Amino acid sequence: MTRRILAAFLGLTLALLIGVVVPLGVMSVDHDRDAFADETVSAASALASAAEEQLADHERGVPFLGTLSFRPALIGNDEFAVYDNVGRVVIPGPSHLRVAPGLVAAALSGQTVQEWQDEPQDGLLVLRPAYSGSQIVGATAVQRAADPLNEQIESLWVGLGLTGLIAILLATTLSIGLARWVGLPLRRLDSAADRLGAGELSVRASTAMGPPETRHLASTFNNMAGRLESLIGSHRTLVADISHQLRTPLAALRLRLELLHDDVDGTAAAEELEGALGEIARLSRLVDGLLAVARAEHTRPEPVSVDLRQLVRERVHIWSALAQERQIQLLTSSGDATVAATAGHLEQVLDNLLANALDVTPVEGQITVSVRRHHDRVRLEVVDSGPGMTPAQREQAFRRFWTQPADNPTRDSSSRSGLGLAIVHRLITVDGGTIGLTNVPGHGLAVQIDLHPAAG
């Protein structure tokens, strides 16, 4: 925006300079030249009047004095000459001005001759006829140096140039100032929106600066952020409160059933009670899971540089004993990769994915964890050799409480909360990563996670 405002201001200023100031200068120069010419012409006229008497006498046969007693209206270095009615020089100036005979003839025919000259010096040559009554008795020539005029014109242009420069500087300063005034609050608002989006719900924009529209925008943003914060806050406390509130009656119920279990005789009743205790355990896990989801959903990204190769190696090492027991090959292939992720997230993600993979992989199957560059991201992939998922299942897999219908329900199906992938999804996306599922022919399901490489 700064650039646009600057361009607009400078464009306007330049248009004013070119459209108004330059023509004004040209006009002013023309005017000065005309005035200079007029003055020179009147000097020649005055000279003609002064020489008129001698020229008239000469007509009557009186010889020339050769000089003029006074030289009216002549200044400084003016050169001049007086000619008689046949064009002979009768009064030469101090430096014997030479004038083309044609010009003298033109003056003797009654014309006023004006001629700008470059040689021998820059100046204006004016020839005037000299009259005695209505009769032309001779001519005068005055050559005036144009130096003072040129200096005047030069200083005019310098003055105009300086004015233009000052105008441009002023326009630049003003436009930058304006752009700041408008732009800074907008930039702050932008960064506030950014932080709000990243989960910093308490962030507010400053309404103290900038034009009224921007201030209004900032206060609208603040209203929105406030409402969002209170909504999310109440949602968060609701989930947490419900979960915590459920725990006390669950504890009471559990203790009561355990005591009752101790009192009853007969396997049938005891089995029923054990079933009830099992349901309580399930409820407790659900409450824990809900809290975990709530926590994951409200987690704020604080990405640090994580050595993914190292992390994969550690997690796989931890899980290898279990995989070995189940006769499942746990393979890794990892290039060097550091990614930006919040501390602890990727460990949880790998634990969840490896748990799922072990669940579906049959004996003597294999699970591969790989890390490689993928375009400008780092791809972490876990491939199992289970049955995979149908497209419909893949679409729903990240939803809370979704569980894949198991082929083998005896294995750990009771411990599935349906929250693992939902948590994984959240932990990945909060750090700006993406996660997808595909079936790999000949293997099983591939979970593909694309992460931002660590900066620098």
Partner 1 sequence: MAIGPVGAATSPGAQERATGLHVLVIEDDPDIGRQLERGLERAGYRVSRAVDGSQALLAGPADVILLDLGLPDIDGLELCQRLRARSAAAIIAVTARSEEASRVATLDAGADDYLIKPFGFVELLARVRAVLRRINPGESGQFHHGALTVDPRTRRVLMADREIALTPKEFDLLTCLAEDPGRVFTRQEILERAWGGHWYGPSKVLDVHMASLRRKLGDPALIETVYGVGYRLASID
Where in 338-367 is the site for partner 1 (CB under 8 A)? 348, 351-352, 354-356, 358-359
The nearer residue to partner 1, 44 or 397, going by C-beta atoms, is 397
Residues 247-266 that bind partner 1 (CB under 8 A): 247-248, 250-256, 258-259, 261-262
- Least Å from the CB of residue 180 to partner 1: 43
Name 279's Cβ contacts closer than 8 Å, sequence gap at least 6. none
Number of residues near partner 1 (by CB under 8 A) = 50
Q: Minimum distance from CB of 348 to partner 1 (Å)?
A: 6
Query: What SS3 class is residue 437?
Result: strand
The pair of structure tokens assigned to 123 is 């100046």
Longest dimension (CA), the chain: 170
Residues whose CB falls within 8 Å of the CB of residue 360, separated by 6 or more in sequence, listed in order: 384, 386, 387, 404, 444, 445
CB of 363 to partner 1, least distance (A): 13
- Closest distance of CB 309 from partner 1, Å: 21
Q: Does 268 bind partner 1 (CB under 8 A)?
A: no
First to last CA, the chain: 29
Q: Which residue has the tokens 């007086």?
A: 82
Residue 190 or 412: which CB sits closer to partner 1? 412
Site string for partner 1, 419-438 (x = CB under 8 A): -x--x---------------
Nearer to partner 1, 11 or 278 (CB): 278
Least separation in angstroms between CB 196 and partner 1: 24
| Pair type for strands 123-132 and 135-145 | antiparallel
By the rule CB under 8 A, 56 interacts with partner 1:
no
**Which segment (183-191, 269-277, 429-437, 447-455) binds partner 1 by CB under 8 A?**
269-277
Q: Which is nearer to partner 1, 93 or 420 (CB)?
A: 420
324 binds partner 1 (CB under 8 A): yes
Q: Considering only residues 193, 277, 286, 440, which one is a binding residue for partner 1 as defined by CB under 8 A?
A: 277
In order of 173, 183, 185, 216, the CA distances from 212 in angstroms are 22, 13, 11, 6
User: Stretches 73-81, 141-149, 314-322, 363-371: which one binds partner 1 (CB under 8 A)?
Assistant: 314-322
Q: Which residues pair with 145 in a beta bridge?
A: 123
Burial of 337 (0-12, 13-18, 19+ CB in 10 A): buried
Calculate the CA dihedral of residues 88, 90, 92, 98 and round it to 10 degrees.
Answer: -10
The b-or-e profile of 291-310 (16+ CB within 10 A means b, else e) is: bbbbebbbbebebeebebbe
Contact set with partner 1 (CB under 8 A): 244-245, 247-248, 250-256, 258-259, 261-262, 270-271, 273-274, 277-278, 280-281, 284-285, 288-289, 291-292, 295, 318-319, 321-322, 324-325, 348, 351-352, 354-356, 358-359, 410-412, 415, 420, 423
